[in-house]
A and B are shown apart, each in its own frame.
Chain A
Amino acid sequence: MIKQGMRTAFMALAVAGGMLAASPAYADGTLTVSSPQDPGSWDPVDTFLVNWSSVATNIFDGLTYRGPDAKLVPGLATSWEVMDEGTRIRFKLREGVTFHNGEPFNADAVKFTFDRLMGEEGKKGPQRSNYAAIDHIEVIDDSTVDMHLTQPDPVLLTKLAGYGAMIVPPKYIAEKGEDYFNAHPVGTGPFKMVSYEPKVGVKLEAYDGFWGEKAKLSNLDYRFISEPSTAVAELQAGRVDLVIPPTIPIGMIPTIEEADNIKVVTTASPTVYALRFNTANGITKDERVRKAMIYGVDRKAIIDAVLGGQAAEIASFQGELSFGFDPDMKPLPYDPNKAKELLKEAGVAPGTNIQIDIRGNNATFNEVSQAVASYLQIIGLNATIKPYETNVMLNDIIPQGKTGEMFQQSWGGWTLDFDNTAYLMYHTGEKWNPYDSDEKLDALLESQRAITDQAKREAILQDIAKYAADRALEMPLYNLNAIFGVSDRVKNFTPVPDSRLRLNEVSVD
């Protein structure tokens, strides 16, 4: 019997060995990328994950394009004109562009894309809500479309550069069906998909017919590796050339820096971290207490000591890339004496207990919150840290207002516009704002949404940031860098802030 068991096991091994053959050798011009998550579908309508974008930015184009410099430039539209007080945008379309299957790109493809996003197919997915301002597309001629809006959306042109607004091929989807398209996407981008193996990886190859700068790589392989130590081991072993965020934690940076032939490349990202206050209950109801706590924590020291300098101090809940960022606005200084004074003034007895709720899965933030707790101890507050499983925290603890005095919020919208953050964090009744209600703030937030004059909008967004800081609605902590692990064989790599990583300019030795 045992003999038989052995034989079975032997056979299983033999079959395994035979089926999987030898590891592939690296052909010239193949870049292997480790990405932390398989989005499950490549259809732009279905997506909600940044790691959809890190692959799909190479497959699809939008009407507009935004590269690593965060500037909006023409994509599949060569120019556009905002008309009718911002309720109509006329796009001139690029001519002679073809999809990977040979199908021509034209006004019909644009109309199909947005009809689909706003119609039955889009209804099932999360992307539609970002484009709610779009009413319909009117085809003017083969290379001109008018996008009619129900109301002006000042961020729309940016949103057209990514995610749900990627232009998809009408004939291909009609012929092959929606299910097929999920796993076999076709776009107009510099790379086309060759194969997709769920949970394992996806292989792309250069598209010769690309309208822009053609890819220097012949092949682009993505492997889905979620465990940071595994991804870094693959990088060290030379089997992966590029590890993209969010994978590498701060703590692993020294490991990469010490190793030969690989390095760490970082850039500012939209991701900001704050400990927000429960402004409805407990001692943090008092603005003086909230300010005292901000004065009491040396955020600069935390950035240097815990984050290895891979972050920037922030004065509001946004980083420098954000539209609405005010370089003149400075964070409150570290001043423990002032903090103690304010606490005394507010009648908070030394030794008062408070609770900080954090997401338990983030080792780096765990350390940060411990440092915060130690600083609070110095000004006389006993902080207990309570870790939650991320989804429980996001779906229950915060929206239902069950947090302690402070709770972790990390945020980073790819549109790089403070509206996306501020509205959701500060407007009355929003999911991420379970405690506060401020009429003045609500009015400010609503007013900027209807304005197309960008300078005016920027001024209002800056006012919102100042107002929120004056009321001390959160303890702004830092703006974390996007961290890439890169092999030395990778040339001409430019890190991007938002995971929308297009690799047509990259080459390998």
Chain B
Amino acid sequence: MKDLFALYAAFFRIGGLTFGGGLTMLPMLQHELVDKKHWVEEEDLLDYYAVGQCTPGIIAVNVATFVGYKKKGIPGAIFSTLGMISPSLIIVSIIALFLNEFMSNEYVAHAVAGIKVVVCALMLNTVFTMAKKTIKNYIGAIVCVLAFVVAMFTPVPTVLIVIAAGVFGILLTKIKKKEEGKK
């Protein structure tokens, strides 16, 4: 039980002190889990990250679940995940409560309008960073543009586009293998 609470507390700290998720969380995880607690080795953490990136869901949460499971089985996984999401739940709920109440204030409304412009710029940044990271070849570029066009102009659900891209990736590898077999 003590170990479970230690897991919860560690991930609560990580979730509550890091802004942004994914890769921005890696230094904090390293500091807390590798250097301070010696729960995992540096390479293990990078392996968990690799898995976290190719499994559904939020990357930081996936890493927390993985570390918790390796440490204390299923209860460990649950406590780590809960620790990771608790700070968000508390902080964001409080902000949401106040934001909805203060939105009628004139100054808040102006501030929010200004913030929206910045959010657009931030999101533009996200798209460009992701494009640089995820598009590795021209087929990837075509898939990206296709997904954009389909999502923009047709009512095809987002879920289907994700599944189709995954199936296409597997087919592509199979075709490549066949061709290599012929040679």
Say if A and B assemble together.
no
